[in-house]
Structure 1
């Protein structure tokens, strides 16, 4: 039986060609699909219950017209994911997408649609400047309504997944890590292969590399890919440890960590996804600098936080172990 395989070919032994990234835009596109077919996504039912009442109808209708319920959706919604990608970066990028790219991607959607949906997409295709502004407005409105309230939890899960995968490279090798991404993904002959439902392709990633991106609001069938320039070849895979309760109140996660570490250290660890100075940690937590320094020293000695000197400042950041602990609490 013929299988639809996308193959990302890499240089022999080039571990550095594979890196991880985050994609807020891809999460939102998947969220639009989950909202269209909630019965297919039981792990998202907790999130769905929390967002249905505040979902903005008109922006949702605009986005679902273009994104659809399955299969390909326009590449311009997702840029090449990076480790420090922020939602605001996605919004700004979307408002500057070249008109030619918008028309090209909408042309693909025209070929995949019929009836009223096709007519709506054709109007966007014929006036790409207006379409870009309309889609960007809808994108930002939907984000603020359905994902912004949960981005802190969602980002913690994604970063915890990346931390675990990164450690697995050291213990199991690149092939072992890749093989653990999903049942449809495998490694062999210096290539990453993923089985998809409706697409097959072979890409030479030597020189460009491959970006691996975990997702929480994942598609029903598991993995998806981004293969066309100007984006870097990208493989999206389901983040591990996602349960129906992932979108619970952030306070409950902090309480769970607080029971383990104490409230002050739990708060410091949860907020350590970005580098901060000791003074910033103290200000964010309302602690004296000496107290914050003490808690940071305990977290550092436990391997949960790493500290480095930058001139006169000391900067603190969660370690992979700290990411895993935070992810487990979620």
Structure 2
């Protein structure tokens, strides 16, 4: 179990961040063991033929699907850039590369693809991750990011309405905040430590590639919790939603589809992909529907996320 002591003012230092690198490295779990991630099978099938250094990528996980801490650095900004994060990885001291790789594997032996000089292994890791991003992530990142941003907006609203403890309880039954102590029950009993967040704060990172909350393996790492994002079930869905006929007759096919989809927050980019229409057309509909009181919106970073309003909910209920 991991215990983070959120002492007094540090409760105000809890922040959210989206990390392209952490999504990339955590996705190695799905690449290594697809059967544990059935919702990602459409994506995994689409990248099956990609030219990747799979030896190196597979060597970065073990049977428990752990990854070394040095390839999961804490995001330094709420909307981190992949290149900036890879620069952090590339600057990892050699002794830490060796120790982190050994800590992931039970016998303490570094796998053959990454054995030898840590500097050489590190260059191979960075190259393999960058190629993996270019081939398998970059074409889909706008869609993934939209789901992650929607999760953060949802958690923020929960904090405002119901408080921090309710927000943490909604993440997972394995997470609980009591007084100033945040406890996180991990899948493995091998990782067990307690530390304060004083001076560092706590960063919460939603991810599409974890079924349970996780933290760094070492207590020396800055306090971070990766947790499963809401909305994964819609990530690779391309079917157009079927709105009630009465609603389609009233406001049209596209707007009724938007209203049906926006039970959960989403960006115009994600909505355009789901509906198979252009982002420009979607934005025109969204503005009109928000002006009519059917939607609300909130900005997160560079994106605006939309959500059905109470009036929109009542319209859906009446049509259904």
TM-score between the two structures when normalised by the length of structure 2:
0.74
Change (3 A) 1:85 1:229: farther
Alpha-carbon shift at residue 77 of structure 1 (Å): 1.2
TM superposition outliers: structure 1 runs of 4+ over 6 Å: 253-257
Q: Is 1:318–2:311 an aligned residue pair? A: no
Q: Is 1:247–2:236 an aligned residue pair? A: yes
Aligned position for 2:80: 85
Alpha-carbon shift at residue 145 of structure 1 (Å): 1.8
For the aligned residue pairs, the C-alpha RMSD in angstroms reads 3.7
SS of 2:215's equivalent in the other structure is strand
* Aligned 1:124-273 pairs, distance under 5 A: 126-128=117-119, 130-196=120-186, 197=188, 198-218=190-210, 222-226=212-216, 228=218, 232-243=222-233, 245-249=234-238, 258-260=254-256, 270-271=268-269
Structure number with higher helix proportion: 1
Deviations 1:43-74 (A, max 9, x none): 2222222221x3324x2211211333425422
Aligned position for 1:275: none
Deviations 1:188-229 (A, max 9, x none): 12121100113111010123211111111215xx11102658
Change (3 A) 1:114 1:208: closer
Alpha-carbon shift at residue 15 of structure 1 (Å): 3.5
Aligned position for 1:107: 99
Q: 2:25 aligns with which of 22, 29, 39?
A: 29
SS of 1:247's equivalent in the other structure is coil
Change (3 A) 1:127 1:7: closer
* Aligned 1:112-127 pairs, distance under 5 A: 112=105, 118-123=111-116, 126-127=117-118
Aligned length: 282
Conserved in 1, the CA contact under 8 Å of 2:195 and 2:219?
no
Change (3 A) 1:110 1:28: same
Conserved in 2, the CA contact under 8 Å of 1:25 and 1:78?
yes
Distance 1:316 1:78 in 2: 24
Alpha-carbon shift at residue 295 of structure 1 (Å): 6.9
Conserved in 1, the CA contact under 8 Å of 2:158 and 2:166?
yes
Distance 2:121 2:255 in 1: 50
- Unpaired runs of 5+ residues, structure 1, are 273-283, 308-314, 326-330
Alpha-carbon shift at residue 150 of structure 1 (Å): 1.7
Change (3 A) 1:21 1:253: farther
Conserved in 2, the CA contact under 8 Å of 1:74 and 1:106?
no
Deviations 1:222-265 (A, max 9, x none): 1110265885310001112321x52245xx67999943487xxx
SS of 2:176's equivalent in the other structure is strand
